[in-house]
Amino acid sequence: MKAYLFGWNPLKWPWEDLDNDIKKLSQSGNLKDNWSVVSHKSIQPGDRAYIVRVGVEPKGIFASGFISSQPYQAFRKGRTYYRIEIMLDVLLNPGKEQILAMEILKTGNLAEQNWTPQASGISIRPQLVDELESVWLNFLGTKEEFNL
């Protein structure tokens, strides 16, 4: 499986309806959102997506999902760029709950990846995808244990 990293900087792009989106995901089991993607030539529906918070603390992965569309062109400020849709399966509020911290992402083999990309939708190194998924699922499982 291929995986891609999408960056979210709340200083540049406020997510004003984050709590409502978390509620929608919790109630319906799915939530579709669109993101810009630089790896538009290689990304495909079904690929894994992780969203990392950058710019302000806490930094780290707070959402995941699967690519659910082909890349499509969009226009903003006279510029053409590409977007894709992500069907989210996990969405956490970094201001209210623990996220997969940068300290964990920068240890062991995972340290080989740039976790603070300047562009959104970069490819995660293929040799790290399984380990990242395992760390993410373990983190989510640990969160659930403490929320009981």
Confidence band (pLDDT; 50, 70, 90) for 1?
confident
Pairing relation of β-strands 31-36 and 79-91? antiparallel
pLDDT exceeds 60 at position 20: yes
Task: Indicate the domain borders of the chain.
Answer: 3-147
If we measure between CA atoms, which residue out of 122, 127, 124, 132 comes closest to residue 100? Answer: 132
Mean pLDDT of the region 45-50:
98
Closest by CA to 118, choosing from 6, 10, 29, 42, is 6
Range 65-91 average pLDDT: 94
- Residues contacting 33, CB < 8 A, separation 6+: 21, 85, 86, 88
Stated pTM of the model: 0.94
Q: What is the band of 76 on the pLDDT scale with cuts at 50, 70, 90?
A: confident
For the domain made up of 3-147, the CATH class stated in words is alpha beta
| Residue 64 confidence (pLDDT) | 98
User: 143 pLDDT exceeds 80?
Assistant: no
Question: Identity (one letter) of the amino acid at 69?
Answer: S
